């Protein structure tokens, strides 16, 4: 078995002092420490940021918010609605209403919901929370839902396949997005620090 080359005594003592180690902790660390080539490759997850600070490699985790999950869930919902509408109705006649469960849509509305869902996914994937973007899409959904509910005689049925009752979906989603955009907290990620050890040529 080839033994790992050890750090020079001075570097070991400097490392132990920086880490606040003493007594049995030092003896344990001396058995574990080994020379690591410089630079040390650090593999970070997509949501992490790597930087060098004072001879250490610092991996910073991106912030996150529960609001992101709401936006991602709503985005998936509208993408499913849009894709299902297009699968049932095709695109040859974009004004031909199709029905699934309690909902009805035309392929034109399916295309609109598909694009809206993709926009929601994009906003929900931003680290932390894009309060401005989430507020915007929430206002759009809420306002559109109110219009669909308020207009008489299912006026959007011939073009978009929407009945008045369908508007409540947009009212609920839009209101929920506005609430979480305003009230959801943002949690800052904790960092991981790696000691960078410099190699000395012999």
pLDDT at 48 over 90: no
What is the pLDDT confidence band of residue 94, given thresholds at 50, 70 and 90? Answer: very high
pLDDT by residue (tens digit) across 60-84? 566 778 888 999 999 999 999 999 9
Rounded CA-CA distance 154/157 in Å is 6
pLDDT by residue (tens digit) across 145-159? 999 999 887 888 889
Instruction: List Cβ<8 Å contacts ≥24 apart for 78-82.
Output: 78/113, 78/114, 78/116, 78/117, 78/120, 79/113, 79/114, 79/117, 79/118, 79/121, 80/117, 81/105, 81/110, 81/113, 81/117, 82/110, 82/111, 82/112, 82/113, 82/114, 82/115, 82/116, 82/117
Domain residue spans in the chain? Answer: 1-35, 66-183
pLDDT at 13 over 80: no
User: For position 36, what pLDDT does the model report?
Assistant: 44
pLDDT by residue (tens digit) across 26-39? 555 555 544 444 44
Tell me the whole-structure pTM to 2 decimals: 0.64
The terminus-to-terminus CA distance of the chain in angstroms comes to 21
């Amino acid at each position: 078995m080839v033994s790992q080359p050890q750090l020079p005594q001075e570097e070991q003592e400097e490392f132990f002092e920086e880490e606040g180690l003493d007594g049995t902790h030092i003896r344990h660390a001396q058995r574990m420490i080994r020379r690591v080539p410089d630079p040390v490759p650090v593999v970070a997850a997509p949501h992490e940021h790597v930087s060098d600070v004072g001879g250490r490699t610092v991996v910073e985790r991106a912030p996150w918010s529960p609001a992101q999950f709401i936006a991602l869930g709503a985005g998936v919902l509208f993408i499913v609605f849009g894709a299902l509408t297009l699968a049932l109705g095709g695109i040859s006649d974009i004004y031909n209403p199709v029905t699934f469960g309690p909902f009805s849509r035309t392929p034109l509305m399916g295309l609109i919901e598909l694009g809206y869902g993709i926009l929601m996914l994009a906003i929900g994937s931003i680290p932390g929370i894009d309060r401005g973007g989430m507020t915007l899409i929430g206002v759009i959904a809420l306002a559109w839902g109110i219009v669909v509910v308020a207009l008489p005689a299912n006026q959007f049925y011939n073009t978009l396949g929407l009945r008045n009752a369908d508007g409540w979906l947009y009212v609920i989603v839009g209101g929920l997005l506005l609430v979480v955009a305003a009230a959801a907290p943002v949690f800052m990620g904790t960092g991981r620090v790696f000691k960078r050890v410099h190699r000395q040529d012999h």
